[in-house]
């Protein structure tokens, strides 16, 4: 039988088939000698197809996340397979070996964790997806969920971002803390000084008691009741997209602070509301 000419075999194309078909079948596919295939297979410690004790298929879904996060040898022991199986699988997924990687400088990457899928970020970093997961869990950042993030209408929550605690806000919005962190980063909030935070939160508090009055009386009437400038009221009203009070307002009329839109025209300075149940309830709620 004529000897087959020596060829250089690109094993990266064939390694994962070793042991799955017979050496003979594989050698025919490659166009190499049978011996070349057998040698390669033995070198990687893979049992021949059909051989007694040939490895059972490994369910990598349980293990892929660990590839590259520990030494291949360590993982092989955990899986209960050969070192070669781990190496092959790792290479197939393009994950660098644990000891070939420089340790990741997370300071450079932490900010991106809430913004991206682990697998996506790991590609950027050049590390194993499992490493990102481990880091993410260490920081208590929930798994990135692109869909969940898309649903958030951030304009609605703008005034609360950086004022309300992220965790509480996440509950309010119904999104992940990570999504808020990412959005803050995007709009540059979260770098507020303590002074600025207090200022913001106090503004928020003031409006919590007055927002329901916007558009329920003329801006200047509300401004007077609040003790602020008319333009402050106008700006707030427009920001919340509330129409101006459409009717005439009686001279010297005070607004019902319950927000029903009624004007109080008597001279009793103690009276703050029209006395309706709805308005009394509202006043109780905001007091």
By beta-carbon proximity to Zn ion, the closer residue of 233 and 256 is 256
By beta-carbon proximity to Zn ion, the closer residue of 117 and 274 is 274
Interacting span for Zn ion (CB under 5 A) from 92-100, 122-130, 171-179, 272-280: 272-280
Q: Taking the complex as a whole, how short is the minimal distance between the CB of residue 238 and Zn ion, in angstroms? A: 24
Interacting span for Zn ion (CB under 5 A) from 88-96, 219-227, 234-242, 266-274: 266-274
**Does 274 participate in binding Zn ion (rule CB under 5 A)?**
yes
Q: Taking the complex as a whole, how short is the minimal distance between the CB of residue 211 and Zn ion, in angstroms? A: 16
Q: Taking the complex as a whole, how short is the minimal distance between the CB of residue 273 and Zn ion, in angstroms? A: 5
Q: Which residues between 246 and 265 bind Zn ion (CB under 5 A)?
A: 256, 258, 260, 262
> For residues 282 and 273, what is the distance between their CA atoms, to the nearest angstrom?
10
Contacts with Zn ion by CB under 5 A: the residue count is 6
Q: Taking the complex as a whole, how short is the minimal distance between the CB of residue 210 and Zn ion, in angstroms? A: 15
**Does 217 participate in binding Zn ion (rule CB under 5 A)?**
no
- Burial (CB < 10 A; 0-12, 13-18, 19+), residue 72, is buried
Q: Taking the complex as a whole, how short is the minimal distance between the CB of residue 151 and Zn ion, in angstroms? A: 36
**Does 279 participate in binding Zn ion (rule CB under 5 A)?**
yes
Q: At what angle do helices 23-30 and 34-43 cross, to 10 degrees?
A: 120
Chain residues that interact with Zn ion, rule: CB under 5 A: 256, 258, 260, 262, 274, 279
């Amino acid at each position: 039988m004529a000897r087959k000419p020596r060829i250089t075999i690109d094993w990266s194309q064939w390694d994962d088939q070793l042991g799955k078909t017979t050496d003979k079948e594989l050698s025919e596919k490659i166009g190499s000698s049978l011996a070349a295939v057998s040698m390669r297979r033995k070198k990687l410690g893979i049992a021949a197809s059909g051989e007694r004790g040939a490895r059972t298929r490994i369910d990598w879904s349980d293990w892929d996340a660990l590839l590259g996060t520990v030494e291949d040898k360590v993982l092989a022991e955990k899986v209960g397979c050969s070192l070669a199986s781990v190496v092959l699988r790792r290479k197939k997924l393009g994950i660098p070996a644990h000891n070939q990687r420089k340790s990741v400088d997370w300071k450079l990457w932490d900010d991106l964790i809430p913004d991206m899928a682990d697998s996506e970020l790991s590609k950027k970093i050049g590390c194993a997806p499992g490493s990102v997961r481990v880091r993410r869990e260490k920081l208590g950042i929930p798994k990135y969920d692109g869909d969940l993030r898309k649903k958030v209408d951030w304009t609605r929550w703008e005034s609360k971002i950086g004022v309300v605690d992220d965790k509480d806000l996440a509950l309010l919005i119904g999104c992940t803390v990570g999504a808020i962190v990412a959005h803050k980063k995007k709009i540059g909030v979260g770098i507020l000084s303590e002074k600025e935070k207090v200022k913001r939160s106090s503004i928020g508090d003031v409006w919590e008691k007055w927002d329901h009055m916007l558009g329920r009386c003329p801006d200047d009437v509300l401004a007077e009741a609040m003790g602020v400038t008319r333009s402050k009221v106008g700006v707030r009203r427009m920001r919340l997209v509330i129409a101006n009070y459409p009717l005439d307002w009686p001279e010297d009329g005070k607004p019902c602070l319950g927000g029903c839109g009624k004007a109080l025209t008597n001279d009793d300075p103690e009276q703050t509301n029209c006395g309706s149940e709805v308005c009394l309830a509202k006043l109780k709620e905001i007091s």
